Chain A
């Protein structure tokens, strides 16, 4: 069974770039069966899909965040990453990485990491 683990700074200053990495274990990030995705959840609120990537590097993003988001993959490290630029307090959230089956649904999720945007 796949396991995913997010890592990165828990505190980011306003206007700076949030950077997170998801490490995949129990399977290959180069599997043709999976895409990989990022989802976030502001404290006490619902879930928002940020974007997804295939091992080839093909990406698709939520239009609401597209201008600020970059998702990349490093197959040699079995990792994929999220960068969100020009952050504000509204970007404070728990960020989850997850495996995406058939570009359709998230079956395995990381434990999530809280990122707070504050000076």
Chain B
């Protein structure tokens, strides 16, 4: 199985400040079709996960542009340019280049 790791595992951020989460995979997520199968989800407290970013850097419908994704191969980053109170929750990265789909352990973001 591809192992996904995330750092940090928790993050406390002042509103209006930026935040960054790293995700690393044990194997390259770049497929021969040219796509990179890396995704980001946010699970707000008491809710189901919601898709933020697909294929490394594409924001899903309705996702604010303060969220951005970058990276390649095995190293990826989710950035929030200015954290807002509604951004609290647990952020997960996920890979789907190889079965089984696997998720990172999650990064818990809260507000200072």
Contact = CB atoms under 8 A, between A and B. Distances in A.
A43 interface: no
Contacts of A62: 99-101
Interface stretch (B12-20, B49-57, B75-83): B49-57
A61 B18 CA distance: 38
Interface residues of B, number: 22
* Interface hub of B47, B99, B105 (most chain A Cβ within 10 A): B99
Contacts of B47: 111
B37 A104 contact: yes
Contact of A107 (B35, B37, B51, B101): B51
Interface string B32-53: 0001010101000001111100
Interface residues of A, number: 19
Contacts of A110: 48
Contacts of B99: 60, 62-63
Interface string B78-92: 000000000000001
Contacts of B49: 47, 96, 106, 109
A96 B48 contact: yes
A105 B48 contact: no
Interface of B: 35, 37, 39, 41, 47-51, 54, 60, 92, 94, 96, 99-106
5 contacts: A48-B103, A49-B102, A104-B54, A106-B51, A109-B48
Interface of A: 46-49, 60, 62-64, 96, 101, 103-107, 109-112
